[in-house]
Amino acid sequence: MKPISRTAFYCCGVRMQDAELPKPVCGDVYAKVFMSQDGLQILDTFKDERGPNTSNVARHRIIDDFLRQELLANPTLRVIIIGAGFDTRAFRLKGGDWIELDEPQVIAYKEERLPASGAQNELHRVPIDFSTDLLEEKLSAFADRGPVVVVIEGVFMYLEPQAIDELLRTLRRLFPHHKLICDLMTRVFFQKYGRTIHEKITGMGASFNGPPKAARTSASSAVAVTGPSTMASRKAAASAAARSRSSLTSSQYAGASCGRLGSGPPCSHVPRCPRGSA
């Protein structure tokens, strides 16, 4: 796998650990299926990153809950996950027509460990080499003018602003009525809480860009849900985190303000949110 793909073992590993707790936040019982010996070694590298690990699980649960709401309203909703890694929502959530895109090595590994045919919902896995293949070509077979939800989780920090902009424009062309669920962070948050994990990720060979320099107004990270009207003119989705919550134009700020895990009142968006345990 490419270095950036190997970071999926970290995210999957913290969900595995969460699932082993008496009162898990995500309860991803499938996560352990992907954790090979190599994956466990990668996870061990991040064992001291208590804040990021907790935030990672909370982020995943928040997105789970957004998707549950959407699927309750529309059980046949098309859900597209770009950079899916070892995501298992097609197995865990009720309803939906799921499309997962990731590097060919990731898709092959997932299919070996947890075949798409075993999912309770319709699931299509699409291999894509993000460095050479065109996302638009890979997604064109699924183009839909109806409601679509696109999930881009834990991806934008690896991309240059121009790549983010083109990705969002592609989504707007193919899915004019889509909603985008993504995670954002400000540069202040990155500088205060993300430096050590940044060093570990780049030490694995992955390119971790963090938020753009303009995104620096507050020490917070967020999960945001946006509608298609905000997609056309965004320079980069990550820049949205630099604006105040009320100025996300027509998007709905929906998220997780975990600017400092372990301080402030419990997060109201996630039942049993682990905020405060870090």
Catalogue all structural domains in the chain, each as residue range(s) with its CATH number: 50-253 (3.40.50.150)
Using DSSP bridges, classify how beta strands 221-226 and 178-185 pair: parallel, antiparallel or unpaired.
Answer: antiparallel
CB atoms within 10 A of CB 42: 20
pTM: 0.78
pLDDT at 226: 57
pLDDT at 26: 94
* 256-260 mean pLDDT: 29
pLDDT at 58: 93
Q: Give 208's pLDDT tier (boundaries 50, 70, 90).
A: low
The DSSP code for 26 is S
pLDDT at 29: 97
Instruction: Please report, to the nearest 10 degrees, the dihedral formed by the alpha carbons of residues 199, 166, 144, 184 taken in order.
Output: 40
Rounded to whole angstroms, how far apart are CA atoms 133 and 54?
A: 34
Q: Give 94's pLDDT tier (boundaries 50, 70, 90).
A: very high
> Which of 1-15, 72-86, 190-204 tops mean pLDDT?
72-86
Q: Is the pLDDT of residue 118 over 70?
A: yes
Rounded to whole angstroms, how far apart are CA atoms 122 and 79?
A: 10
Q: Give 219's pLDDT tier (boundaries 50, 70, 90).
A: very low
> Mean pLDDT across the chain, nearest whole number?
78
Q: Is the pLDDT of residue 133 over 50?
A: yes
Q: Give 207's pLDDT tier (boundaries 50, 70, 90).
A: low
Q: Give 12's pLDDT tier (boundaries 50, 70, 90).
A: very high
pLDDT at 212: 55
Q: Is the pLDDT of residue 48 over 70?
A: yes
Bigger pLDDT: 177 or 274? 177
Q: Is the pLDDT of residue 223 over 70?
A: no
Find out whether 135 and 155 touch, Cβ atoms under 8 Å. no
pLDDT at 237: 37
**In the chain, alpha helices (H):** 3-6, 8-19, 37-45, 50-73, 89-92, 104-113, 135-139, 161-174, 187-193, 195-203
